[in-house]
Structure 1
Amino acid sequence: MTADASDDASVLAPFRQFFALERDVLVLSLAMFAFSLAFQMTSRYVPEYLNVLGASAGVIGLYGSVGNLVSAVYPYPGGALSDRIGSRLALTLFGTVATAGFLLWYLASFVPTISVPVVEFALPVTGTVAVGGAVEPWVWLFVGLFFTQAWKSFGLGATFAVVKQSVAQDRLAMGFASTEVFRRIGFLLGPLLAAGLLAVAADFVTGFQWILLVAVAFGAVATVTQHVRYDASDDTIGESFEGISGVVADLRAMPATLRPLLVADTLVRFANGMVYVFFVIVVTDFLAVGFDIAGRSLRPDAFFGLLLGVEMVVALLSMVPVSKLAERTGLKPVVAVGFTVYALFPLLLIFAPADQWVLVLLFAFSGLRFAGLPAHKALIVGPAERDAGGRVTGTYYLLRNALVIPSAALGGWLYGSDWTLSTGVGTIAAGPKLAFAVASAIGVVGVVVFLAFGREFEAYA
């Protein structure tokens, strides 16, 4: 950043710099806070909402894979568009679409099951095929997903580019930490606010409807604020989007530093993607753990929000000190720690006893994975040219997220199946434990790949 950066390696450092931040980074930080709060307080509960509405584990896994598809498709055109039209207009557009998505999720709860007349088609090879049936209310949650992901995924390249333009090469990790802390505060307060609303609501469905209305309000305020207050005078404009040939060219031009990181990151994210949508269901249904203290109790759904809050407290307390540490040790060790936590958490969660304090400790451990995110982002965008930060970021996430698309569907199939397989050393049974164990195994492979082949960004070497 052009403003003086504090060397105080504490979570308070970004707040001490708050009024000294460049205006565009400040506005970006505030928008990150609002949209992160809105998205985190809603998206982590959508799998439970699908479950309540009667969706099977396979459908919930499919929902996760559709989310992966959106995350894969959106960043590249979003990054290319932000490089072309500037970050201000791009982020305003993406914020408007995301807010409309939260509103659609809210309205979906009032839509009854729609009966579609069955129509038969005669095909030469497969014979007669019947199309039609009932459109359940949970279908609209899939539709809304394409909207709510807009600011988070379309705007990914724009947010990276803003920081890239404002921060010195050897301070990128701290630059991302300043914005990431505000984003993670949203991640902290969002689930806690959701837990509070669920705790006072008569049931989960009513509480979730209240949560969605709050998300709409936050999204609308953030969109208007970032459009009015963002100073676009320093925006740089890159080349226009050139279609598929441009995607291929950008993939070929990806800095060599990113290639081993991309392979390892893809394995770790594939592992996480297999079971991520089931975390809430494991807490609320599989373990069915609530929270009791001093004679007061929370339902498991509200307790899950509290657990996410614990996770974010640890993330916030560790993120800035770890980013400062990266300036001394390099980015690679810090990123490796984050990958390791990603890999081990599923296995630890699914085999955890149904004890509230064990879950608190596990989600506190999970918060350490976020400590490496600023270093991870610096490792991605650092090698990029000044006017290509959005495109490099979009290209990286396009490829990574495209490969991760089927992960949740695979996890959902393993989670909801009931088959068994006899082997020479015992019987393997499908179900939640197998799904989470396989996920951790894939994640560990990703960690090993990164430790063996990952490369350090030269500014931190």
Structure 2
Amino acid sequence: MAGDGVRETLREVAGLERDVLVLSVAMLAFSLSYQMTDRYIAAYLQALGAGAGVIGVFGSFKQFIAAVYPYPGGAISDRIGTRRALTLFGVLSVGGFVLWFLAPGLGGPLPAWAWLFVGLVLVQAWNSLGLGATFALVKQSVDAAHLARGFAATEVVRRVGFLLGPLIATAIFAATVGLLDGFQAVLVVAIGFAVLATVAQRVLYDPTGDTIGKAWGGLASVREDLAALPKPLRPLLVGDTLVRFANGMVHVFFVLVVVDQLQVSVRLPVIGFLRPEAFFGVLLAVEMAVALLVMLPSAWVADRRGLKPVVATGFSVYALTPILLISVPADAALVALVFAFSGLRFAGLPAHKALIVGPAKTGAGGRVTGAYYLLRNALTVPGAAVGGLLYSQSPTLAFTSATVVGLLGTGYFLVFGVEPTA
């Protein structure tokens, strides 16, 4: 029964090796920092004077970083060990959050919003440079037959941050006046969580179990690792790229649709009245609550019934969410329902990660993961910029186009995707 699978996976969470538990704690703390800030960044940019085109370019720049960081990050972690790599990446991320906080008061030749681009280079260090390290650590600690559940165990802990982060942001926005002041307060708390995560992984993580791979051979190694991606990954890569391109077209604009287009606010029992920017945090929490409910059962299904249908389900939710959001009436309950549906996309996340890292050899998990994300994210870099151009013409055009592209990716994976052997 699915309930038995959930209980078994929860037992796996409690029984994970110390290193994976430490990683989970760091994931939780960094998730709080990222989720308190990431989904509001478009509104912060707008408050500092940026237009829709600049916001779209910011989204594409973020995708560019997500493309180029995982491969060298994976190579670094394979070479120097997980603890030192993740500590380094954590320190860089803390510096990025600090720069975001200082941006409104920074002078010089750059406008205030431009400093957010500079800070993004640092903020994304733990999340993107550390991607390969986190994948490799889970792979070396979990039996190959249960990779989906192993990733689900760590993801559930991480996604708790996705749930709590927006709620903390909601409380801060409700207690402050104006979006700019509220986001500045959010950043102070985010910095605190990022420092906590960096210190915890440095002090608690035991590096004796790290595997050290070969030294990075420069661009020749990139070409070699890209060419060596297992054939079963290629249909996944094509479908995943199209779906993520579609999501990138509109993801950064979700907050603007809720705050500016729908202008939906709500009065909740006990809490009272919430402005649109505060209500947006509640919507993100609803989305993540659904994600936490579905990830463990979906991982159980994936390990027993196959990875492909679970991944395809997640892809289809990615594709349909934009058209639903741009079409929904300005009613708080209906908007919340759309975000609840969006949370179902996380059902495919553990299975998706298992598809990527399963064939990797010991000592090369970081590089395989990095190579996959390097190629996928490089191809999705223009997504947000394209979405920004379309959004400046018509939000409906941008969100509808995103759904069309996402459905193409989902269909391709359903037709050509295969169930690989780990």
| TM-score normalised by length of structure 2 | 0.97
1:265 aligns with 2:245: no
Aligned partner of 2:104 in structure 1 is: 109
Deviates more, 1:388-397 or 1:290-299: 290-299
Match 1:163 to one of 138, 153, 157: 138
Aligned partner of 2:5 in structure 1 is: 9
Larger Rg: 1
Match 1:335 to one of 311, 314, 318: 311
- What is the deviation of 1:16? 4.5
Which letter does structure 2 place at the counterpart of 1:255? P
Which letter does structure 2 place at the counterpart of 1:227? R
Structural mapping, 1:286-435, within 5 Å: 286-294=261-269, 296-417=272-393, 431-435=394-398
1:86 aligns with 2:81: yes
Structural mapping, 1:10-409, within 5 Å: 10=6, 16-112=11-107, 114=108, 116=109, 135-294=110-269, 296-409=272-385
- What is the deviation of 1:7? 8.3
Which letter does structure 2 place at the counterpart of 1:156? L
Instruction: Indicate if the aligned counterparts of 1:336 and 1:447 stay in contact, CA closer than 8 A.
Output: yes
Q: Deviations over 1:254-293 (max 9, x none)?
A: 1111111000000000000000000000000011111123
- What is the deviation of 1:337? 0.2
| TM-score normalised by length of structure 1 | 0.89
Aligned partner of 1:3 in structure 2 is: none
1:442 aligns with 2:405: yes
Instruction: Indicate if the aligned counterparts of 1:198 and 1:208 stay in contact, CA closer than 8 A.
Output: yes
- Against the structure 1 CA distance between its residues 221 and 293, is the aligned structure 2 distance closer, same or farther, given a 3 Å change threshold? closer
Instruction: Indicate if the aligned counterparts of 1:177 and 1:320 stay in contact, CA closer than 8 A.
Output: yes
2: CA distance, partners of 1:278 / 1:336? 24
Q: Deviations over 1:190-246 (max 9, x none)?
A: 011001100110111111111101111111111011011101111111111111111
1: CA distance, partners of 2:308 / 2:73? 28
- What is the deviation of 1:51? 1.1
Percent of pairs with identical residues: 60
Secondary structure of the residue that 1:384 maps to in structure 2? coil
Which letter does structure 1 place at the counterpart of 2:152? A
Which letter does structure 2 place at the counterpart of 1:332? K
1: CA distance, partners of 2:159 / 2:243? 21
Structure 1: segments with no counterpart, 5+ residues: 1-5, 117-134, 418-430
Which letter does structure 2 place at the counterpart of 1:278? F
Instruction: Indicate if the aligned counterparts of 1:13 and 1:320 stay in contact, CA closer than 8 A.
Output: no
- Against the structure 1 CA distance between its residues 13 and 304, is the aligned structure 2 distance closer, same or farther, given a 3 Å change threshold? farther
Structure 2: segments with no counterpart, 5+ residues: none
Q: Deviations over 1:365-391 (max 9, x none)?
A: 000001110000000000111221100
- What is the deviation of 1:9? 2.9
Secondary structure of the residue that 2:363 maps to in structure 1? helix
- What is the deviation of 1:458? 2.0
Q: Once superposed, what is the RMSD of the aligned Cα atoms?
A: 1.4
1: CA distance, partners of 2:146 / 2:91? 32
Instruction: Indicate if the aligned counterparts of 2:12 and 2:150 stay in contact, CA closer than 8 A.
Output: no
Aligned residues: 420
2: CA distance, partners of 1:258 / 1:363? 30
Which letter does structure 2 place at the counterpart of 1:438? S
- Against the structure 1 CA distance between its residues 208 and 383, is the aligned structure 2 distance closer, same or farther, given a 3 Å change threshold? same
Q: Deviations over 1:289-348 (max 9, x none)?
A: 111234921000000000000000000011001100112210000000000000000011
Secondary structure of the residue that 1:45 maps to in structure 2? helix
Secondary structure of the residue that 1:297 maps to in structure 2? strand
Secondary structure of the residue that 2:211 maps to in structure 1? coil
**Greater strand proportion:** 1
Which letter does structure 2 place at the counterpart of 1:159? T
Instruction: Indicate if the aligned counterparts of 1:76 and 1:157 stay in contact, CA closer than 8 A.
Output: yes
1: CA distance, partners of 2:89 / 2:238? 29
